Each structure stands twice: as C-alpha cells, then as structure tokens.
Chains A and B, each alone.
Chain A
Amino acid sequence: MSSGLKNKLREIRVASNSMTQQQLATLVGVSRQTIISIESGRYSPSLELAIKISEALDYDLQQLFWLAKD
C-alpha cells in the first residue's frame, strides 16, 4: 500500500461545491483514476500535484495532506 501520507481530499472536494472527481482531475491535469487513487490512499501525489490540488480546492496544503504519525 501507499506511504504514510494521509489526506482528506474526498471530504474537502465534496464540501467544495460538490466538485466531481472528473472536474478536479481536469483542473489539475490528471486522470480521474489518479484522483480516485489519491482519495483512497493508494497513491501519494507528488508535491507539485498536491499543491495544484490544494490551489484548485482553495484549501491549505497542510490541512489537506499530512504525514501519519507512527
């Protein structure tokens, strides 16, 4: 499975005018499958993609993504 990077992307995306996965994917230039994988914790995005997502959702990066403490 993926690393210790956690996120609340799904929660924030739905809260953000109920943006669909496809809409967010198009905004940040990735496939819908990539957004699905990030939301389910199966893929850790690059820093560049994480920043793009936080900007697209107009949400603080560190509130959106964080490292799980062991």
Chain B
Amino acid sequence: MNKNQREASVQLIAIPISVVVFFILMWGEFSKPASDYEFVWPILWAIVASVMASILVTIGFAMIFPNWLENSIKDERDRRIHSLGKDYTMGFYVLGSVLALVFAKLELDYYWIALTVFMSASMANFAHSLVKLLMYRFGTFE
C-alpha cells in the first residue's frame, strides 16, 4: 500500500469522525432558532477532530500493520488516480458552492450557508478518498 492509499484509507475514517463531532457539538444549539446558532467553534473543532483522528488512525494502523508506513515509489498510476479522483468528485465542491450562493441570495441564516460549505467539503473529501481506493482496487474506469 502506498502513501496515496494510506492517506485515502485514513481519511475514510477521519472525515466521518469530524462530521459526527460537529453535530455532537451543535446538538445543544438545535433548540434555538437557526439565526442564534453558535456554529463557528463547532466547525473549527470538527476540523481539529479530523486532524487528530488522522494522526491517531495512522498511528493505530502502524501499530496493527508493521509495514503500514513503508514507502513505495510514487509513479504515473498514482498521479493519474489522484487526478481522476479529483475530477470525479469535483461536483461536490461545485454543488456546495452553488448552493451556498443560492442560500446567500435567499438571505438564509448564516448557519445554513456554513453547513453547506462544511458538508460539501467533507463529502467531496470522503468521496475523493473512496473513489481513489476503488480505482486502486478495480482500475481507473477510463
């Protein structure tokens, strides 16, 4: 398993953890009107949780699988899969950006705009990691 695959595997675990952390921290806010939600710190903590989870999962995998951190050569196939992965999942970013713009135009509460951006970025990264692992396993679908 090379660095690309390792990172993708770790992200598949870290991203859901960050989303769960966000909603746990937001839980107390849902009794208020959306305009009063305090969502900035939960988003920042979710990002911190994602980074921490990535580090801990990497350490955990390295303890379970002794050759987990072995580096293999990064070649044209790795670059192609990384690039195709971005192409295949770019739609999440575009959809999130467009929705955020529409919500801003509709003057929805800031929370909905922030949630849209946060979730689209999380889903894009999750999908990117998943698609990359699938391409490593089954080929590049070209």
Contact = CB atoms under 8 A, between A and B. Distances in A.
Interface of A: 1-3, 25, 29-34, 37, 41-46, 48-49
Interface in B51-90: 72-78, 80
Contacts, number: 45
B75 A31 contact: yes
B139 interface: yes
A34 B78 CA distance: 9
Contact of A1 (B78, B80, B136, B138): B138
Interface of B: 2, 72-78, 80, 136, 138-142
Contacts of B142: 2-3, 44
Given A31-B78, A33-B77, A49-B76, 17 more contacts: A1-B138, A1-B139, A2-B142, A3-B142, A30-B76, A30-B77, A31-B2, A33-B72, A37-B77, A37-B139, A42-B138, A42-B140, A43-B80, A43-B139, A45-B76, A46-B76, A48-B76
Nearest to A1: B139
Nearest to B137: A42
With a 10 A CB-CB cut-off, give which of A3, A37, A48 has the most chain B CB atoms. A37
**Closest 8 pairs between A and B when the two form their complex, measured CB to CB:** A42-B139, A30-B75, A34-B77, A31-B72, A31-B73, A2-B139, A1-B139, A3-B142
